[in-house]
Structure formats: C-alpha cells, structure tokens
Amino acid sequence: KAGVTQTPRYLIKTRGQQVTLSCSPISGHRSVSWYQQTPGQGLQFLFEYFSETQRNKGNFPGRFSGRQFSNSRSEMNVSTLELGDSALYLCASSFDQGEQYFGPGTRLTVT
C-alpha cells in the first residue's frame, strides 16, 4: 500500500500571500489530521477531518483552514502568510481510531 503523500514537498512564499497544501491519505483511511511542526512550538494540532467533515480543530487563527474531499484527499490553506507560519506541515491519516501514519511533510518558508 502506498503511504501518505503530500505535495508540494517544499514551498517558498512571501508575506501576505496564500498557500494551499495537499495530502493524499493511505487508501481506505477516512481520517486525515494536520499538524504544524516548528523548533520552538514542537508539534501542534491544526485540524482533523473525517468523511469530509471537520471534527476537531486546534488553536490556530482563522487564516488556517482546510477541507476534505469525497475521496478522503485533504487540503489545507493558509491565507495572508506571516513569517511565523514557516514550518513543516505534516498530514497524517488513520483508519478509524488507530495509529496515525504521517506523510513526509511540506516545508513552508515565508520570506
């Protein structure tokens, strides 16, 4: 089975721009979660989707949003980028309530 894939792997944006990151879960997994990883804050939960519904959200501003499609693929969007949004964004998928499997991440750099 193919693992979780994330595109793009690397991204450079300037402040004020917006960005969309994509995640394809493992086949059969309906739950997709997103995390932000930074050296200062560690791993922080952004949101979780299940069957196209957001069922959990972390403490991030409204500039961070996401969605899930009927094929379980997910996207997250960050608008009005700030320097502090530079991070590794990780997507994870799981079957029911089991362990989460992570993708390689998207490294976002905001200049």
- Rg for the chain (alpha carbons), in Å? 13
Task: Return the half-sphere exposure (C-beta side, CA atoms, 13 A cut-off) of residue 9.
Answer: 4
Residues that contact other proteins, how many (by CB under 8 A): 26
Question: Looking at beta carbons only, is 78 or 92 nearer to other proteins?
Answer: 92
- Which of 24, 33, 36, 72 forms a contact with other proteins (CB under 8 A)? 33
Q: Are 8 and 106 in contact (CB under 8 A)?
A: yes
Q: Are 61 and 36 in contact (CB under 8 A)?
A: no
101 binds other proteins (CB under 8 A): yes
Catalog residues that contact other proteins under the rule CB under 8 A: 4, 6, 31, 33, 35, 42-43, 45, 48, 50, 55-56, 58, 90, 92, 94, 97-105, 107
